[in-house]
Structure 1
Amino acid sequence: MDFIPSKLQTYVEANSEDEPELLQQLTKETWQKVLQPRMLSGHYQGRLLSLISKLVHPTSVLEIGTYTGYSALSLAEGLSEKGKLHTIDRNEELYDLQRKYFDLSGYGEQIIQYTGDARQIIPEIDAEFDLVFIDADKSSYPLYFELIIDKLKPGGLILSDNVLWSGKVIEKLDPKDKDTKALLNYNLKLKEDHRVETVLLPVRDGFTISRKR
């Protein structure tokens, strides 16, 4: 979901960095072959991820929620020469598509794929991270935060997607809506937890940047 008019969104994208051709190809193939293609980060958010990564110039990145690999490739653009990007997704059917584009990109040897439950995989990754991107099952966001905060280097960033959840965070909460409840708790936690400083941006469906103190 975008929170600005479509014509204005088009203007914003037109006046931002162009989308690389390989990511255009990945977008096209995702829409042709994969369910829920709207889950792609897309041009504008992809360029935002790329720029943040280039500013951080990370040696170690963690992504929770690979989907078809668009956001991973955007984040990989900022990796240091020997940097590694660890990306986790529970859908094993997407593995080959992800790997196809990772290898075409030139970052293939720097991107490590994991398939399974991120809650079990994260504790097993022997690394400290400069940058973490969370874009997976919303009900687990608070738990993901606790799993990564001690693995995040001081000054490291946590990027969190979909934190406005189509505006549901300001509507009356349905007691059965576990995702919205989790996101409300997560957003409050990022605001109040003394370990991080946070700014929530109204980008697409809500995008939070949190920095570890």
Structure 2
Amino acid sequence: MIVNDRITDYIRSLESDRSPLLSKIGKKARQDNVPVIREETAAFLQTMTAAIRPKAILEVGTAVGYSTLLMAEVMPSDCHITTIEKYEKRIPLARENFKEAGESGRITLLEGDAQDILKGLSGPFDLVFMDAAKGQYLLWLPRILELMSPGGMLISDNVLQDGDIIESRYAVERRNRTIHGRMREYLYELKHSERLTTSVVPIGDGITVSILK
């Protein structure tokens, strides 16, 4: 945990029960080691979605659709989510979860590599949630910004890498050094881009909230 474990446990204890379906999806995903967002991050994502009342949402990284349905639960009735997933084994389950939630009509799931799919999308999107291959965030960013509406919000998850982001590249495992370096570059770009106003929020595994000027 990035913050004190006792604080995190207390924050989680304050959460009200989620809908039976979302609780089931989240529990099953964690049992199967599917990378879904942590509960304190889930609450933050829902709060931001409700606050900006988007008309169009783009999500990069569907997994089994947990975060997709979290946003769908609080977004305006006329909002639509476009979500991208590459891992073929998770796609049928995500579609099944969308159908069970009665949200198939408001969610479009695009199958394939995000880099290719992003090129063919047309915006604008008022909210973008990035939660996929961490080493690709920097590569996707220019196109993401092109797809965002002015004043739109970009939320990126897992940016602090369980606290490893503050370590020297030689202090992290060799297999993680490339991602470590790319994430540091991504954070620097978010904080120094003249087009963005960005805050780094140390909840869950670290998230950033960026507003397109």
Q: TM-score, normalised by structure 1?
A: 0.92
1:145 has 2:145 as partner: no
Who is 1:16 aligned against?
Answer: 15
Structure-to-structure mapping, 1:85-104, within 5 angstroms? 85-104=81-100
- Return the letter of the residue paired with 2:101: S
Aligned to 2:79: 83
1:1-213 aligned at under 5 Å gives the runs 2-32=1-31, 34=32, 36-37=33-34, 39-174=35-170, 177-213=177-213
Give the distance between the partners of 2:201 and 2:154, measured in 1 at CA: 13
Structure 1 window deviating more from structure 2 (40-49 vs 93-102): it is 40-49
Measure how far apart 1:30 and its partner are: 2.0
- Rounded to whole Å, the distance in 2 between the matches of 1:16 and 1:25 is 16
Q: Could you list the per-position Cα deviations for residues 138-157 of structure 1 after superposition, in whole angstroms to 9, with x for gaps in the alignment?
A: 11111111111011111100
Does the CA-based 8 Å contact 2:81-2:108 persist in structure 1?
yes
Match of 2:62, SS state, is: coil
Q: Which sections of structure 1, spanning at least 5 residues, go unmatched? A: none
Please state whether the residue corresponding to 1:114 is helix, strand or coil: strand
Q: Deviations over 1:4-57 (max 9, x none)?
A: 33332221112234322211110232244x4x33x1113222121111111111
Q: Which amino acid aligns with 1:61?
A: I
2:138 aligned partner, one-letter code:
P
C-alpha displacement of 1:81: 2.0
* Higher RCO (CA 8 Å, separation ≥ 6 residues): 2
Partners of 1:112 and 1:83 in 2: CA distance:
12
- By how many angstroms is 1:127 displaced? 2.3
In structure 1, what is the Cα distance between the partners aligned to 2:30 and 2:160? 24
Q: Secondary structure at the match of 2:155?
A: strand
Q: CA RMSD in A?
A: 1.6
1:167 counterpart SS class: helix
Runs of 4+ in 1 over 3 A off after TM superposition: none
Distance 2:185 2:50 in 1: 30
Distance 2:12 2:94 in 1: 25
More divergent stretch after superposition (106-115 vs 195-204): 106-115
Identity %: 30
